[in-house]
Structure 1
Amino acid sequence: MQTETISLEIAEHIAHVKLTRPDELNTMTPAFWEDMISVFEAIDADPAVRAVVLSSTGRHFTAGLDLKSAQSLHGDPKDVARERVHFLKHVKRLQHSFTVIDECRVPVIAVIQGGCIGGGVDLVTACDMRIIAEGGWFSVQEINVGIVADVGTLQRIPHLLPQGIVRELAYTGRRFPADEAKSYGFVNAVAADHEAALASAMALAKTIAQKSPVAMMGTKAVLNRGRGQTVEAGLDYVAVWNAAFLQGEDMREAIGAQMQKREPAFKNIA
């Protein structure tokens, strides 16, 4: 599958999503936001997919929002209320473009090279894991152009970094380099270069794809549901989840494979 801004390839239960506008620094045009929704809808519809690797091309992962397209975010100029309703609907649609990643039923691994700027941080914080190439960096760039980050960074990054660091990055827009990001656990690994980072992500995706797809879907759902909830509410949720799904074939297959010292063979999710 190839859209205007993104490509999708699926092989051996792994979906590889790739940003494909390197000459434009993979900036996020109006087409990008719709393409992201279409690509993840296709992933969700494919029962064979068990993990996603999301990477990019060129010197930078993404320079964030395409500022030229930001000039067209106005509705009815004669009525400020209607103009603001138009803008609200627009922002909610942009948010949905990354919520589809967060809510994807399988884990998503981001591979970052060079700069991951503005909307790029919104994007990778919606992913489950992040692997970055040496020399890569992040920037919550919105503060530097006079706006509040509004597509997910400020909601998701507090679950990934200490509050003081979150606020420093959001208030200053400074570069957050790979080694510092690794020291806080924001990235899972720092690889020697982009190729090595992609290889590491693919190896991780392969390991994930070998697990029970039902158990993997449930694990992600329970982890996501637990954000912002009490331990008690989380325990209730996972109890209900396992009461519904624990009696499937996957547990018997997983235990049988361990006892027989073989690789398990799980069916795709219907």
Structure 2
Amino acid sequence: MELSTMSLAVADAVATVTLTRGPALNTMNKAFWTELIEVFDAIAADMSIRAVVIASTGKHFTAGLDLGLAAEGLGGPPGDPGRAREAFRRHIHAMQRTFTVVDKCRVPVIAAIQGGCIGGGVDFVTACDLRVGTADCFFTIQEINLAIVADVGTLQRIPHLLPQGLIRELAYTGRKFGAAEAKSYGFLNRVEPDHAAAVASAQALAAEIAAKSPLAIAGIKAVLDHGRDHSIDDGLEYVALWNAAMLQGEDVPAAVGAQMRRETARFGDLNG
């Protein structure tokens, strides 16, 4: 797999996806939108992977969508305006899929964020399970500053992470949402002093998750995701069915036995 905007490395059951266009502020150019899908397809196919860390390079995590690409999309082909707008709708759906594959990844995804996380960067990290940031990191729902309605995931996912009043303020004003404020609302799980410490903290979280039963982690993520758009009663029935099906495996006896012996349990990978 040849990549120009990011790299993928796998070690000790943790996949690390690193944005590599630091000098260009990791702006999301045309290649980014397909490469992230390719990378997460590869992660989905590798059953040895039990957690993912998203890291970056340079001063900022990402400055968001490449403005040249944005202008190209708004122009549209000549001819019938109805057909042009229908094509643009499909273009938006294709971009939405890039972050949907992150959201639907079978294993937890942890973002390590330094500096600015702007526009499409917020779409990206709200599709992740956990977020670790540097003390100087900040988030901006930048689209309002470009007279655009954010359309690739932020406005759909952030209501599950922040209070409505705050979301509306951030979306309406495009102001910076800094690390201390983000931590106070639980948007950031941890705040670290610098970039290296944030990545190390994310890797430590990933390693801790990777040591747990991958079957149980998959179940927890599936049940939590199901609960985002279902009632409590629906969610209770879903988890009952999940456990009725999945608790017959070898992981529960292994975990209970290890607890009784005060040892660390070891769990096999999921089947491919």
Shorter-chain TM range is: over 0.9
Give aligned pairs, total: 270
- Shift of residue 262, structure 1, vs aligned partner: 1.7
Q: Give yes or no for the alignment of 1:55 onto 2:65.
A: no
- Shift of residue 75, structure 1, vs aligned partner: 4.5
Residue type of the alignment partner of 1:29: N
Q: Give yes or no for the alignment of 1:169 onto 2:161.
A: no
Match of 2:34 in 1: 34
Query: Per-residue CA shift, 1:197-227, capped at 9, x if unaligned?
Result: 1111111111000000000001001001100
Task: Classify the secondary structure of the residue corresponding to 1:259.
Answer: helix
Residue type of the alignment partner of 2:173: T
1:151-170 counterparts in 2 under 5 A? 151-170=152-171
In 2, Cα distance between equivalents of 1:2 and 1:172:
39
Match of 1:91 in 2: 92
In 1, Cα distance between equivalents of 2:2 and 2:62:
18
Match of 1:3 in 2: 3
Deviating runs (4+, > 4 A) in structure 1? none
| TM-score in terms of structure 2 length | 0.97
In 2, Cα distance between equivalents of 1:2 and 1:27:
19
Runs of at least 5 residues in structure 2 that lack an aligned partner in the other structure: none
- Shift of residue 261, structure 1, vs aligned partner: 2.1
Residue type of the alignment partner of 1:212: S
Match of 2:15 in 1: 15
Match of 1:125 in 2: 126
1:147-226 counterparts in 2 under 5 A? 147-226=148-227
Task: Classify the secondary structure of the residue corresponding to 2:94.
Answer: helix
Task: Classify the secondary structure of the residue corresponding to 1:71.
Answer: helix
Match of 1:79 in 2: 80
In 2, Cα distance between equivalents of 1:48 and 1:233:
31
Task: Classify the secondary structure of the residue corresponding to 2:172.
Answer: helix
- Shift of residue 71, structure 1, vs aligned partner: 2.5
Match of 2:142 in 1: 141
- Contact 1:133–1:193 (Cα < 8 Å) also in 2: yes
Q: Give yes or no for the alignment of 1:231 onto 2:232.
A: yes
Query: Per-residue CA shift, 1:104-132, capped at 9, x if unaligned?
Result: 00000000000000000000000000000
Residue type of the alignment partner of 1:6: M
| TM-score in terms of structure 1 length | 0.98
Runs of at least 5 residues in structure 1 that lack an aligned partner in the other structure: none
- Shift of residue 141, structure 1, vs aligned partner: 0.2
- Contact 1:76–1:82 (Cα < 8 Å) also in 2: no
- Contact 1:2–1:8 (Cα < 8 Å) also in 2: no
In 2, Cα distance between equivalents of 1:218 and 1:151:
26
In 2, Cα distance between equivalents of 1:130 and 1:238:
25
Query: Per-residue CA shift, 1:45-99, capped at 9, x if unaligned?
Result: 0000000000110000000000011222254420111111111111111111000
Task: Classify the secondary structure of the residue corresponding to 2:110.
Answer: strand
**RMSD of equivalent CA atoms:** 0.9
Residue type of the alignment partner of 2:127: A
- Shift of residue 135, structure 1, vs aligned partner: 0.7
